[in-house]
């Protein structure tokens, strides 16, 4: 698979570094570092693009839009046209980078070009078939995005627990978060008691650190960072739930 990642700063660079380190060997990863600033209105996208984009000559299958400026989203249809890309992943880890109205418009633009586009919010909600959480969950059907999401997206673990001590012995990362957070959490949780794993996973997620927004998001009534942390905790909980020591308290008799 031929991939073009568009970045403007540290957020995107960390994603690219992790993808390059752990992607299948037959993926070709190209990177374009876009300008960090754009005018309020972009009338002619081609004026903000280089004469030649990475991967343009041989063509691109999938575009990863990891830029930290909403102006890049307005360039994507032209980038798709020039590279021949058939699918786009444009995450919403911060609303100011890709506002919801622009995200809807981007999906519409690309749909008119017969190009698949998903805008996962947060990025670590992406699976092979859907993205987003709760009532905002959205389904999709695209082989290129699904292939990417087999390896990167919503964290997925396979955990071996000692039946006697209930400590976590081994943790395999079946699917990493794009930023690499799942591998970090897995490494740090080895040896931890099952009772503590879910709570510590949430703390480790924040310590990584997660770069999603800490402002209250109108869709969730919570921060995108907390939504991301809850996804991590839910995946760990699913793996260790049967090993947790759940105690029940039986109320005593009412005093006379």
In a domain, 41, yes or no: yes
Any domain includes 253 = no
Statement to judge: residues 16 and 138 lie in one domain? yes
For the cut 70, the answer to whether the pLDDT of residue 79 exceeds it is: yes
pLDDT tens figures, 19-57: 999 999 999 999 999 988 776 767 677 777 889 999 999
Mean of pLDDT over the chain: 93
What CATH code is carried by the domain that includes residue 85? 3.40.50.720
Q: Are residue 138 and residue 198 in the same domain, yes or no?
A: no
Residues 141 and 43 in one domain: yes
Residue 132 and residue 36 share a domain = yes
Indicate whether 137 and 32 sit together in one domain. Answer: yes
Domain boundary among 129, 151, 173: 151
Looking at the fold, whether 114 and 180 belong to one and the same domain comes out as no
Does 176 lie in the same domain as 238? yes
Q: In degrees, to the nearest 5, what angle opens at C-alpha 151 toward C-alphas 147 and 155?
A: 130
What's the pLDDT score for residue 248?
54
Q: Which structural domain range is residue 182 located in?
A: 156-243
Is residue 256 situated within a structural domain?
no
Is the same domain home to 146 and 190?
Answer: no
pTM of the model: 0.92
* Final residue belonging to a domain, choices 151, 179, 195: 151
Q: Whole-angstrom Cα distance, residue 211 to residue 28?
A: 26
Q: Please indicate, yes or no, if residue 230 is contained in any of the structural domains.
A: yes
The tally of domains found in the chain comes to: 2
Q: Which residues contact 36 (CB under 8 A, 6 or more apart)?
A: 8, 9, 68, 69
Are residues 111 and 202 both part of a single domain? no
State pLDDT tens for residues 139-179. 999 999 999 999 999 999 999 999 999 999 999 999 999 99
Same structural domain for residues 60 and 91?
Answer: yes
């Amino acid at each position: 698979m031929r991939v073009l990642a568009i970045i403007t700063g540290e957020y995107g660079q960390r994603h690219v570094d992790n993808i390059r380190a752990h992607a299948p060997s037959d993926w070709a990863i190209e990177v374009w570092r876009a300008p960090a600033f754009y005018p309020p209105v972009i009338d002619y996208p081609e004026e903000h693009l280089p004469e030649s984009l990475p991967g343009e000559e041989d063509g691109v299958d999938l575009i990863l839009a990891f830029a930290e400026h909403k102006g890049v989203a307005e360039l994507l249809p032209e980038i798709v046209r020039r590279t021949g890309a058939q699918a786009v992943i444009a995450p919403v880890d911060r609303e100011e980078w890709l506002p919801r109205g622009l995200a809807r418009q981007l999906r519409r633009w690309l749909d008119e070009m017969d190009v698949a586009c998903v805008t996962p919010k947060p990025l670590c909600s992406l699976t092979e078939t859907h993205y987003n959480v709760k009532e905002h969950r959205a389904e999709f059907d695209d082989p290129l995005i699904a292939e990417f999401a087999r390896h990167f997206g919503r964290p997925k673990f396979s955990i071996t627990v000692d039946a006697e001590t209930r400590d976590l012995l081994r943790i395999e990362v079946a699917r990493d978060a794009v930023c690499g957070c799942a591998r970090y959490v897995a490494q740090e949780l080895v040896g931890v008691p099952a009772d503590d794993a879910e709570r510590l996973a949430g703390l480790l997620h924040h310590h990584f650190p997660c770069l999603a927004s800490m402002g209250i998001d109108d869709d969730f009534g919570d921060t995108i960072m907390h939504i991301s942390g809850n996804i991590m905790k839910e995946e760990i909980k699913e793996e260790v739930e049967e090993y947790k020591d759940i105690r029940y308290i039986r109320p005593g008799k009412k005093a006379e």
